[in-house]
Amino acid sequence: MNLETFFNEHPSVAIAFSGGCDSSYLLYQASQYATDVHAYYMNTAFQPAFELEDAQRFCTQYHIPLTVLSLNVCQNPDVVRNDSLRCYYCKQEIFSNILAAAQKDGYTTLLDGTNASDNAADRPGMRALAELQVYSPLRLCNLTKTQIRQHSKELGLFTHDKPAYACLATRIPVNTPIEQADLERVEECEKILFSLNFTDFRVRIFHNAARIQLPSKQFSQTIEQYQTITSLFRPYFDTVLLDLVPRDN
């Protein structure tokens, strides 16, 4: 099966849109092959502000209707507990709400951007998608992350080289309860790294310190700018650590 065939069989679809590379490619292809497409972005404390900005920019550029929903996931005790099933509980709540909004608008088919490179064994959230009968066309069509980036580049999508950006909850150690203040300080520190031209990084909380994870090619840049980084991080973290295990390993 390819995407054209999928959308011929499912001509009216709602898409859970994150603004990332995968869901952007899916949404673009849906706009080409389906007859009725609507994007839904769920705005929570787990998504940084730039993700919503990218989602709005993409939908405006390609004239795709977008509904922005809001959800306070920090009110869900199963999510805030942050155990090994946090992603499952979070996906259940987010996609249940998107599905309800889509059905209210007349859509019965909801899609997401999971691709063939995503390992279901490592993603409890994918079980929630299966239970809610959310389709993952990129996965069904055996499209890998590498293929999606290449196809997106050929199509001129500005998201083709956008780094994967896991939700902010992943910056909190498993079994450490999630607090809004921790999400906010992590987001502020990641904004700082963006402003200093770092890419594809994570700022994780480690014993109340900020542990920066970067690709190895950016290590020298970090050393050169360590005084600036530690100074700008100071309002949020007293201690700043550089993880010597690079993200490209």
Q: What is the pLDDT of residue 249?
A: 55
Whether the Cβ atoms of residue 180 and residue 172 lie closer than 8 Å to each other: no
194-225 pLDDT tens trace: 999 999 999 999 999 999 999 999 999 999 99
Three-state secondary-structure class, residue 74: helix
Q: What is the pLDDT of residue 119?
A: 72
Q: What is the pLDDT of residue 118?
A: 81
Spell out the CATH class of 3-155.
alpha beta
Q: What is the pLDDT of residue 122?
A: 60
Three-state secondary-structure class, residue 86: helix
Which tokens sit at 56? 């709005």
Is a pLDDT exceeding 80 seen at residue 140? Answer: yes
pTM: 0.92
Is a pLDDT exceeding 60 seen at residue 185? Answer: yes
Predicted confidence band of residue 163 (pLDDT cuts 50, 70, 90): confident
Predicted confidence band of residue 165 (pLDDT cuts 50, 70, 90): confident
- Average pLDDT of the residues of the chain: 95
Residue 211's H or E segment, with its range, is strand 209-213
* Helices (runs of H) and strands (runs of E) counted in the chain: 11, 7
Q: What is the pLDDT of residue 171?
A: 96
Which tokens sit at 64? 């795709």
Which tokens sit at 154? 């050929």
